[in-house]
Amino acid sequence: MAHHFKIKKNKAGEFVAYFMYNSEAIFWTEGYASRASAKNAISSIQKNGPGAEIVDETAA
């Protein structure tokens, strides 16, 4: 399992969804009050992420 989502609680007790690759967190969501909201965030990323454009705001 090279990549997967993981839901964990942060220090504030909120649920956070992490996208993991080789056991390293690549990105994570904001904290949510419920596990269901964190799962909804994962579903949204899976649905909308593949077609997302790349916006590079760095100076050339």
Average pLDDT over residues 3-25: 95
**Encoded tokens for 5:** 């989502």
Q: Regarding beta strands 24-28 and 3-9, do their DSSP bridges make them parallel or antiparallel, or are they unpaired? A: unpaired
Q: Cβ(7)–Cβ(34) under 8 Å?
A: no
pLDDT of residue 54: 87
**What secondary structure letter does DSSP report for 32?**
B
Average pLDDT over residues 21-46: 95
- CATH fourth-level superfamily of 3-48: YegP-like (3.30.160.160)
pTM of the model: 0.81
Residue 27 is which amino acid? F
pLDDT at residue 19 is higher than 90:
yes
Question: What are the boundaries of each domain within the chain?
Answer: 3-48
